[in-house]
Chain A
Amino acid sequence: MKKFILRGAILILLILLTDFLIGQIFGMMFNKVRSGSVYNTTYGIRDCKDQILIMGDSEVKHGLVSNLFSDSLGMSCYNLGLDGNNVFFQYGMLREIVNRYTPEIIIISKSIALEAESSVTSLFPFYDDFLYVKETILEIAPAEKYKLISKAYMYNSLLLKIVPGIFRSDPETGGYSPLFSGQNRMNYNLVPDTVYFKGKSTTRSRGYYDKFIRLAVSAGSRVIVITAPRFSYVKYAETDEFNEIVQNDDVIYLEYENDPTFTGHADYFYDEFHLNHKGAVVLTNRIIYDIKHKIPGLDDFPID
Chain B
Amino acid sequence: MTFTSFNFLIFFPLTVLACYLTPVKKRWITLLLASYFFYISIQPVYALLTAGITISTYIFTRWMEITISEKGKKRLMVANIVIILTPLFFFKYFGAVNNGLMSWLAGTGLTWPLPEISLILPVGISFYTFMAIGYTVDVYNEEVKTEWNPGILALFISFFPLVLSGPIERSGNMLPQFRNMGRIEYTNLTSGLKMMVWGYFMKLVVADRLGLYVDVVYNNIANHNGTSLLFASLLHPIQVYGDFGGYSLIALGTAKILGFNVMANFNRPFFSVSVAEFWRRWHISLIKWLTDYIYTPLAFSMRRKGMTGIVIALLITFLLSGIWHEANWTFIIWGLMQGIFLSFEAITNRKRISVESRYRLNKKPYYILFNIVLTYILFTSSLIFGRAENVNDALLIYQKIFTAPGPLYIEKSTLIYSFIGVSILFIKDFKDEYFPGKLEFFNNRNTVIRFASYIVVIFIILLTGVLNGSQFIYFQF
Contacts and interface: CB of A to CB of B under 8 A. Distances in A.
Q: Which of B223, B225, B404, B406 has the most CB of A within 10 A?
A: B223
Interface residues of B, number: 33
Contact of B455 (A14, A119, A150, A185): A14
Contacts of B225: 186-187
A157 B417 contact: yes
A100 interface: no
A22 B464 CA distance: 13
Contact of A186 (B223, B412, B413): B223
Interface in A85-136: 117, 119, 121
B186 A155 contact: no
A271 interface: yes
A18 interface: yes
The B contact surface, by secondary structure, is: helix
B6 A22 contact: no
B462 A4 contact: no
A10 to B, nearest CB: 8
Contacts of B404: 187
B223 A272 contact: yes
Contact of B454 (A4, A11, A153): A11
Contacts of B462: 19, 150, 152-153, 156
Nearest to B183: A1
Given A161-B413, A186-B409, A187-B228, A152 B451 contact: no
Contacts of B464: 156-157, 159
A143 B6 contact: yes
A156 B467 contact: yes
Contacts of A188: 223
The A contact surface, by secondary structure, is: helix
Contacts of A186: 220, 223-225, 228, 409
Interface in B378-437: 404, 406-407, 409-410, 412-413, 416-417
Given A119-B468, A157-B413, A186-B228, 13 more contacts: A11-B455, A14-B455, A18-B455, A22-B459, A143-B6, A143-B7, A155-B463, A157-B466, A186-B225, A187-B223, A187-B225, A271-B223, A272-B223
24 contacts: A3-B186, A4-B186, A4-B189, A7-B447, A11-B454, A14-B451, A14-B455, A19-B459, A22-B459, A117-B468, A119-B468, A146-B6, A153-B462, A155-B463, A157-B413, A157-B417, A159-B464, A160-B412, A160-B413, A161-B413, A185-B407, A186-B225, A187-B223, A187-B228
Interface of B: 6-7, 184, 186, 189-190, 220, 223-225, 228, 404, 406-407, 409-410, 412-413, 416-417, 447, 451, 454-455, 458-459, 462-468
Which 6 pairs between the two chains have the least Cβ-Cβ distance? Answer: A187-B225, A152-B462, A160-B413, A186-B223, A4-B186, A143-B6
Interface of A: 1, 3-4, 7, 10-11, 14-15, 18-19, 22, 117, 119, 121, 143, 146-147, 150, 152-153, 155-157, 159-161, 185-188, 271-272
